[in-house]
Each structure stands twice: as structure tokens, then as C-alpha cells.
Amino acid sequence: MSVLELNSVSIRFGGLQALDDVSLKVNEWEIVGLIGPNGAGKTTLFNCVTGFYRPHGGRVHYRGSDVTEVPPHRKAAMGFGRTFQNVGMVKGATVLENLKTAQHAHAGYDALTGIVGTQTVLASERELTAKSDAILDLLGLGAVRDLRVGGLSYGTLKLLELGCALATDPDILLLDEPSSGMGPDEAHELGDRLLTLRKELGLTMLLIEHHVPLVTRVCDYVYVLNFGQLLAEGAPEMIRNHPDVVAAYLGGEAPEALEEAVQ
Amino acid sequence: MVATSELLRPTTHPHPEVTTAGRVGRIAVIVAIALVPVAVPGLLGGNQAQACTLAAIYAVIGLSMNILVGYAGQISLGQQAFVGVGALAAANLAGTGINAADPFSFGLAFVAAAAIGAATAVLLGAVALRIKGLYLALVTLVFGSVAADAVFTVEGLNGHSAGVPATRPTALSGNYQFYLFCLAIVLVVLYVDWSFTRTKAGRAVNALRENESVAQAFAVNVMGYKLLAFSISGAMAGLAGAMYAFWNQSFSDKDFTSTAGFTKALIFLVMVVVGGLGSRTGVIIASAFFGLLDTLLSWAFKTAGFSNWYIDHKNYVPGFIGALLLLQTIVMNPGGLGQVVRPIGRWLGGRRFSLHDESELADVGPTHVRA
């Protein structure tokens, strides 16, 4: 059974058909890439999957059950961990506070008990801190634990954001351009990390990514979106040489131009 | 693994061991700070203790505003309505007439005031859930004045416009005794505020104030936690209302309707901004100041020999001072008093005295100030 399945999902914003009849599938343990030019609808698709947008047509299935109408906070509690294109963290809080906030659904007590402040609450709080520290160790970011998020560099933030997504205890991770703001070396390291995470935590992933070497290295399968429609799908190597994909990225004349250049 | 992380942790400012002298000094300062609100009103005596009680009541109102505006980022200009319904409920339930309230109905009045304050706030919150910023401010403003004028002018509830008596129980009939009782309530509210901020509810509300999408991605039910913030804030405001009714020994609708009500709504908002949004210490100091302002001004003008002028302009002077302080805060000190007292708080917490916060890598602006 697939972890995530989209059946002809469509969404329109006014006159713009942002997603048109998009179907895709992510299987257990797979890392699936979602690529396409700017404005193709990749982030919109993420928002439909995670419940931030409600598609006008089509269904979203998670492990066999229809979750199209489930609101985002419940999706997060169900196991949808996501990151945002321009860093989704609480900037005024410290790194540790962010990681503890991300564990909201698994805090082990309810909000009112928290306000009373019983022994259980204190014990749970210690556990949350311990788990946050474990995640920081995993990412090698223990040094920034007590710093405020607002002042950190973009590359560090993208990594921390991944840490926050992990802290939500996800079953499927949806990463929106995880390598943006990173140099080639860091991006390579990120690839290693993603592969390790899948191996150690048994995660399934869907990632939006522009960095082609990273996509080819980590993804098992790739979907290409263009103007809200699926343009192509297949193994990464195949996608790389697909004439439509090359055309979408470089402009309509590209394949001919390439051929001319070769001649 | 643990060892590596210890190595990576910033040890640039290792917290020095506090020396015995340092510890004694800190404890002495803490005891002194704690003694001032307990002892000073007692030494000043009856009427001044009564003025100080108003400061305690304003502190509770300030903390209730801080939960809503400071933590949850929901601007409220209707807080005086929550305080008012609390006062109304307390006075009517205690049903004292001219006799002293018995301890049971006195206690019940406080519980009921908190409950009805929370219920009113949730009602407003449910209406206001989908609107933000200026529009939310407008809705709360309209709600506050309409609800106040509609409910508080009901003849059966406001003692036919003559006020509902709320006589204190015999044990608290003395002004200083009642002051101590109110101080105890401030401590309870302070505890709720403190445990709110250090547990999941506080973190959730903090996240949704900054970015609702991120909060949702962290599994926070944004609407639910906004309503929770409204209800806790309303409960605190209702409690303050009960304190106010017994402080005045009467509920008078004129304190909460039309101009008086609107002026209160503005002052309540000004005091959290001047105190520093999100900073409980700053908010308590600023609220207590505004609670004492009338007494201080009366005294100052009387000493200067202008007491008649002050009596004529009583309604405008505190508001004018509030406006000046608000401008000063916004232009020169956006973190409010909380930012000013924060170094002292850090020092009392056992760290070296420094104006610079170690968790602050760079200046991120006053998104959150906590002292």
C-alpha cells in the first residue's frame, strides 16, 4: 500500500489553474522528488497534501484513508512532517523552544494540565528537552541550542527546520527545497543525511528540489510539474534527459538548440 | 554522542559559579523586592492600602491583557467588558445588601466571576477567530462597548442604576486585609501565567502569534489555542472584576459603560505596551503604576496647590500621561519596561550582570521580550 496517493488533484486561484488533474504516488521508504520550473505548482501541491489548501477536485489518500478534508494541525499529528520554502520556524524563540514546540502533539499532557503543572508535566517536559537534544546531536547542531532562531544563517535554519520536522515525529516528510541556501558541499552532506534518516528512522519522503545532483542521488522516483500539470515521471536518470523536461526548464527551443550546438 | 554535543555547546560565556557573597546579595534583593508590596501598604495605612489594592487589581488586568495581546498577539480593546461582567456577577451573586458577605458566597462570587469572564471572552473569541489586526481591534472595541452598554444597563442587574452593594466579609473588611487577599490573587494569577508560558500551551500560542502556518505544521490547533488564550485572559479579567467590586464595595455600571469604559479599555492596552508585550514583570510594574496613577496625581497636584484644577480635569490627565508613555515606549524603548528590567532578572537568576542577552546572536527586534 502506498503511503501517499493523490488522485487527479486540482485547485484553482481565480483564473489560474494552479494544479490540474495531478496524480502521484509515494510508496513506503521511497524518496520521491518533485521538480519543475518556478510557479509550476510544487508548493501548492505540498499545501494540498498537508491540508493548508483544500483541493477543488480530486482526493488525497494517506495509507488508504481519505485525508483530503483533514485540517493541517491534525495532518501534522497524523505524521505529515513538513518544511517551508522560506524557513518555517518561530523566529523569536530559541532553537530548543522551537524543537519543543514541534513536539506539541506528543507532549504527553494536555494544555490545562500543563497550566496546573503536575509532576507528570515536569517529567514530560524533561523528555521533550531530551528528545530535542537528541535531534540536535543527530544534525550536529548542539552549538546553537540556546540561541534565538532569528539571528541564525539561512543554511543552518534550513537544517534546523528539518530537525523541527523530525521533532513532529513524522511518518512522511515533505521537504520544500531543503538545500536552498546551501553550497554544493553542504547539499551533498544533506543528501547523505536524508539517506541516513530514511535508513534509521524508516521515513518516507517527498521533496521539492532544484539542485539536480541531489535529486539524482537520493530520489527513487521523480515527478515533473509544469504549469500545474504533470509533465513527466520516472527514474531520475530518465527525467534528466527527457526532452519535454529540458524544454520546460530551458525554454521551448532548447532541444533544437541543443541539437544544433551538437552539430 | 552526549560528549560531542557538550563540546559543541557554546561555552563562550561559561556561567560562573555564584559566590556565597553573590548568593546572599541576590537573596537579599529578592527578599527586599518581595517585602515592598507586602509591607509598604501596611505601613502607609488604610486609605493608601486601598489605593494599593487598585494597583493589585490592575496588575491582574495587565496580566490578563498580556496573555491575549502579548502572548497570542490578539489585540483586545474589549477587556473592560470582561472585567465589568466579572464585577457585575460577583456583586449580584454575593447578594450582600448592607450585610457583610459570608465567606462561602464571597468565594463563590470570585469563582463565578472568573467563569463568566472566560465565557464572555470565548464568545468574543469565537466571533473574532477569523479576523486579524486592525479589524480584530475594531470588533473587540465594538463588542466591549455594546456588550457593556447592553448588559450593564439592565436595571435588574445594576441595582436600578444605583449600584449593587458588594460588602466584604468581616475578616477582610479592613483595607489592608483586603489588600493582602488581592495580593494573594495576584500570586495565583502569576503562577498560572508562568506555568502557561513554560508548557505546551505557551509554546503553541507563541508559535501561532508569529506564524500560524508554522504553528499548524507543528500540529498546533490554531483556533483552539486562540480560544484558550481568550478564555484564560477572560477568566483573569473576570477575577479582577470581582476584586474591583469588593474593592469598591459596590458594582456601579458607570465604571464600565460609555466614556469611562472606553478610557479603561485604552489604558489597559497602553499598560501592556508600556510594560512590554510578553513580559510579565514589565506588565505588572506598568499596570501597578496606572492603578496608582490617580492617587499619585491627586497627591502631586494637591502638594503643588492645583488640586481644584486636577479635580476639574481628572478624566483627561491620566489618559494624557498614558499617551506620552506610549509614545516614549514606541519610539525609544519598543521592548517596554520588560526590556529595561531584564538584566536585573538575569542577574537574580544567578548570571553575571550584563545588558546583553547571551541567547541573542543578533538584534532580532522586540518580537518577544520576557523578563
pLDDT at B59: 97
Chain A stretch 147-186, residues whose beta carbon is closer than 8 A to a beta carbon of chain B: 147-148, 150-152, 164-165, 168
Query: What are B271-286's pLDDT values in tens digits?
Result: 999 999 999 999 999 9
Average pLDDT, chain A: 90
Residue B313 has pLDDT above 50, yes or no: yes
Q: How distant is the Cα of A96 from the closest Cα of chain B, in angstroms?
A: 11
Show Cβ contacts of residue A38 under 8 Å, excluding neighbours closer than 6 positions: none
Q: How distant is the Cα of A106 from the closest Cα of chain B, in angstroms?
A: 9
Residue B358 has pLDDT above 90, yes or no: no
ipTM of the complex: 0.91
Is the CB of A50 inside 8 Å of chain B's CB atoms? yes
In angstroms, the CA A90 to CA A72 distance is: 17
What is the β-pairing status of strands A80-82 and A172-176? parallel
Is the CB of A59 inside 8 Å of chain B's CB atoms? no
Percent of residues in chain B assigned helix, strand, coil, to nearest 5: 75, 0, 25
Q: How distant is the Cα of B3 from the closest Cα of chain A, in angstroms?
A: 10
Q: Which residues of A touch B2 (CB under 8 A)?
A: 137
Answer with the residue of higher pLDDT: A174 or B171. Answer: A174
Q: Which residues of B touch A165 (CB under 8 A)?
A: 217
Collapse the DSSP code of B24 into the 3-class scheme (helix H, G, I; strand E, B; otherwise coil) and give the result.
Answer: helix
pLDDT at B367: 46
Chain A stretch 216-245, residues whose beta carbon is closer than 8 A to a beta carbon of chain B: none
> Residue-wise pLDDT tens for chain A (263 aa)?
799 999 999 999 988 999 999 999 999 999 999 998 888 999 999 999 999 999 999 999 999 999 999 999 999 999 999 999 888 999 999 999 999 999 999 998 999 999 998 899 999 999 999 999 999 999 999 999 999 998 898 888 999 999 999 999 999 999 999 998 888 888 999 999 999 999 999 999 999 998 888 999 999 999 999 999 999 999 998 887 888 888 877 665 555 545 555 55
Question: Are the Cβ atoms of B200 and A104 closer than 8 angstroms?
Answer: yes
Query: What are A216-245's pLDDT values in tens digits?
Result: 999 999 999 999 999 999 999 888 788 888
Collapse the DSSP code of A53 into the 3-class scheme (helix H, G, I; strand E, B; otherwise coil) and give the result.
Answer: coil
Task: Provide the 8-state DSSP code for A148.
Answer: B
What is the β-pairing status of strands A172-176 and A57-62? unpaired
B9, B189, B195, B218, best to mutate vs chain A, most A CBs in 10 Å: B218
Query: What are B104-122's pLDDT values in tens digits?
Result: 889 999 999 999 999 999 9
Segment A178-184 long-range contacts (CB within 8 Å, at least 24 positions apart): A178/A83, A178/A207, A178/A209, A179/A209, A179/A210, A179/A211, A179/A214, A180/A85, A180/A154, A180/A210, A181/A153, A181/A154, A181/A155, A181/A157, A182/A155, A182/A158, A183/A155, A184/A213
Is the CB of A77 inside 8 Å of chain B's CB atoms? yes
Question: Are the Cβ atoms of A146 and B213 closer than 8 angstroms?
Answer: no
Query: What are B77-103's pLDDT values in tens digits?
Result: 999 999 999 999 999 988 767 777 788
Question: Are the Cβ atoms of B199 and A142 closer than 8 angstroms?
Answer: no
Percent over 70 (pLDDT), chain B: 91
Is the CB of A73 inside 8 Å of chain B's CB atoms? yes
Is the CB of A105 inside 8 Å of chain B's CB atoms? yes
Confidence of residue B38 (pLDDT cuts 50, 70, 90): confident
Q: How distant is the Cα of A239 from the closest Cα of chain B, in angstroms?
A: 31
- Of B211, B210, B219, nearest to B365 by C-alpha is B210
